[in-house]
């Protein structure tokens, strides 16, 4: 059975809701899924997983959350070459430039970027369904 980690940061609960939907999709596709907040996960633990789905909302000037998530992801970039990865997050303003930049970084790190999902503020039914599909798609790529 494939092992997938859904690693996220959420300030208001929107990205956490998305993370739960991603987890549900990955489980439905047959993976052993670990859902964990970024502060409770160490980069060293990445060796125990076959794929990753990262979630972080847009912060400030459309960047990843800077105190916990950005330092984690900067270190994790060195561990995702040739690994299936999905990205998701919510935003409250702007048009999603943080996700475009994050996708570019992920590809530059050599990951197999499977897809991404963004939601404006609280995820609606479509965003929830897209998150579930993202979980399934990452598992299918393993």
Tokens, residue 119: 């939601």
In the sheet that holds 112-120, the strands lie side by side as: 32-37, 3-8, 51-55, 84-91, 112-120
Residue partners of 54: CB distance under 8 A and separation at least 6: 7, 8, 73, 76, 85, 86, 87, 88
Is-above-0.75 flag for pTM?
yes
pLDDT at 94 over 90: no
Q: Tell me the three-class secondary structure of 48-98, residue by residue.
A: HCCEEEEECCCECCCECCCCCHHHHHHHHHHHCCCCEEEEEEEECCCCCHH
Predicted confidence (pLDDT) per residue in 66-90, tens digit: 999 999 999 999 999 999 999 999 9
Q: Which of 30, 15, 63, 8 is nearest to 140 (CA)?
A: 30
pLDDT of residue 61: 81
Helix axes 14-28, 125-140, angle to 10 degrees: 40
Contact criterion met (CB below 8 Å) for 113 and 105: no
Predicted confidence (pLDDT) per residue in 43-61, tens digit: 999 999 999 999 999 998 8
pLDDT-wise least confident of 3-7, 33-37, 91-95, 117-121? 91-95
pLDDT of residue 60: 84
């Amino acid at each position: 059975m494939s092992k997938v980690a859904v690693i996220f940061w959420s300030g208001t609960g929107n990205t956490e809701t998305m993370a739960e939907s991603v987890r549900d999709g990955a489980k439905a596709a047959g993976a052993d899924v670990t859902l964990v907040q970024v502060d409770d996960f160490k980069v060293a633990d990445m060796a125990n997983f076959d794929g990753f789905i990262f979630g972080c909302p847009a912060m400030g000037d459309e960047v990843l959350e800077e105190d916990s998530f950005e330092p984690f992801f900067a270190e994790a970039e060195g561990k995702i070459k040739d690994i299936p990865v999905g990205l998701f997050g919510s935003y409250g303003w702007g048009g999603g430039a943080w996700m475009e930049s994050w996708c570019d970084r992920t590809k530059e790190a050599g990951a197999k970027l499977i897809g991404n999902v963004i939601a404006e503020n609280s995820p609606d039914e479509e965003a929830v369904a897209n998150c579930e599909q993202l979980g399934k798609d990452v598992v299918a790529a393993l």
